[in-house]
Structure 1
């Protein structure tokens, strides 16, 4: 995936124009274990970077998915509500959480590219 960026909170975003698709990384879903419940944000919800955007619960723990940037949710992935295991089977694909109309693109400059994220994970031990 070219144009993908990562946060230190193990979220990813792929940007197309001013629209970003957001999910959690392969590493994050491995840490969570089997996902049993997902709550995605509603269309029209305004997010500020760092806000809770979604909730994911696994057999191990409940976790928040934080907003990777400021913006307005244009779509939540309703497929995850019916089939939360998509987060495990395709975290970087069909298991995306929401799409956002980005209002502060400069925030994306703070994020890591794929190589930077891999180094970040490796440094976590």
Structure 2
């Protein structure tokens, strides 16, 4: 299992040929504050890398959730839709947003590893 990060503060988790799991980072949920609503994409919809795939709203702000890789949405986290606070309490576990069948898995290789993401967030 490998986890990579985007500069838009999404994380992706890969494990073999399983769909790629996507969520927002601990840094993102810290910046947003208490999450009160999530708008998740439709299963079966395809997105290009960088497109807006959803929205997360908190008591402080709303933020777009960008597609970290190109692909088709194969599952969304209905538990998160029912309880948006999972994005705060377990952002890299039960608070995942959606799963993607990648069009080009090599796009994952270009994402940041944990060390590079930590440096990025420290500098911004």
**Is the TM value for this pair above 0.5?**
yes
SS in 1 for 2:117: helix
Q: What aligned pairs does 1:21-36 form with structure 2 within 5 A after superposition?
A: 21-36=21-36
Q: What aligned pairs does 1:70-109 form with structure 2 within 5 A after superposition?
A: 70-109=70-109
Task: Output the CA distance in 2 between the equivalents of 1:72 and 1:8.
Answer: 21
Deviations 1:96-116 (A, max 9, x none): 000000111121121110111
> What does residue 43 of structure 2 align with?
43
> What does residue 3 of structure 1 align with?
2
| Matched residue count | 123
- The unaligned stretches of length 5 or more in structure 2 are none
Tell me the TM-score normalized by structure 1: 0.95
SS in 2 for 1:60: coil
Runs of 4+, deviation exceeding 6 Å: none
Deviation at 1:4, TM superposition (A): 0.3
Task: Output the CA distance in 2 between the equivalents of 1:109 and 1:3.
Answer: 10
Deviation at 1:17, TM superposition (A): 2.8
Task: Output the CA distance in 1 between the equivalents of 2:75 and 2:67.
Answer: 14
Task: Output the CA distance in 2 between the equivalents of 1:55 and 1:45.
Answer: 15
Tell me the TM-score normalized by structure 2: 0.95
Deviations 1:33-68 (A, max 9, x none): 000001111110101101111110000111110000
RMSD: 0.9
